[in-house]
Structure 1
Amino acid sequence: MERISALGLDVGKKRIGVAGCDGTGLIATGLTTIERQSFPQDVQQLEALVKEREVQLLVIGLPYSMDGTIGFQAKKVQKFAKRLSTALELPIEYIDERLTSVEAETHLKSQKKYSRYNKGLVDRLAATIILQQWLDQRRASLI
């Protein structure tokens, strides 16, 4: 299997959860949470991770509506993702991220690590779930 270096992003209005994967493409790990301030600052912070990890691809969670349509928030994420792809000169792939934040909160609560004051941890774990889903789908398609 070829080496893969991808970043998973959970893009929100206030924060961006960021996850990375090992070179084998087996395991996603939460890396950081970016507190959003402006697009240039978002790019600058992500650019550092892209260079450090030699990223080849961005996997971005797309918040489809529960009926499977692309709503207002998903369109905002797509617009941001396209700008980010251009700025970082990286391809993007989307993955359905419905309920990943709920899944992340549930997991953290079960681990007794959830705090409503630490939303960054939820965003980082949601990004990890997004990237892991993509890695699992990618691996399944290669079999």
Structure 2
Amino acid sequence: METVLGFDFGLKRIGVAVGNTLLKQAQPLAVIRAATNDEKFATIAELMQQWKPALCVVGLPLHPDGAEHEMTARCRRFANQLHGRFDVATVLVDERYSSAVISHQRGDTIDDQAAAIILQQYFDGISQ
């Protein structure tokens, strides 16, 4: 059994979810709100130390037709930084519509729930 952290990257907030390879059930964990990149990664470092994940899953935003855009590149860079800073394997998962699905259910901050959907998509994909 290995722990997996999921991330919904945003410029203002980063949603985080947690799950493991035994149960394959994602749960919302935290929303990181930090003013600077250093503050964001300091908070992520605390989560990495606490949960010791074997893998990080990062949502990859795309246009509905699958085309990449500015945030796609930023998310790829974020995933590369996770891998480089924490020496943990990182996987990108298509996150189209993950935030939209949650926002229809809740009107408040949804980043951790979106991270859970992204992580659950990963688990569902490896279960097949």
Question: May I ask how many residue pairs the two structures share in their alignment?
Answer: 128
The residue type paired with residue 136 of structure 1 is D
Aligned pairs for 1:99-118 within 5 A: 99-108=97-106, 114=107, 118=108
TM-score scaled by length of structure 1:
0.83
Aligned to 2:121: 133
| Alignment check: 8 A CA contact 2:79 2:92 kept | no
Q: Which residue of 1 aligns with 2:89?
A: 91
Cα separation, 1, equivalents of 2:37 and 2:82: 8
Q: 1:80 to 1:23 in 2, by over 3 A?
A: closer
State the partner residue of 2:112: 124
TM-score (norm 2): 0.93
Residue in 1 that maps onto 2:63: 65
Runs of 4+ more than 6 Å apart: none
Distance 1:66 1:82 in 2: 24
Identity %: 29
Structure 1 unaligned residues grouped into runs of 5+ = 109-113
1:23 Cα deviation from its structure 2 partner: 5.2
Shift, 1:105, TM fit = 1.0
* 1:36-90 Cα shifts (integer Å, max 9, x gaps): 3222211111111112112111100000111112211101111122122211111
**Tell me, what secondary structure is at the counterpart of 1:58?**
strand
The structure whose Rg is larger is 1
Where does residue 45 of structure 1 map in the other structure? Answer: 43
Instruction: Give how far 1:136 is off.
Output: 0.8
User: What is the rounded CA distance, in whole Å, between the counterparts of 1:130 and 1:25 in structure 2?
Assistant: 16
CA contact (8 A) 2:79 2:91 kept: no
Q: Which runs of 5+ in 2 are unaligned?
A: none
- Asked if structure 2 preserves the Cα contact closer than 8 Å seen for 1:18 and 1:31, the reply is yes
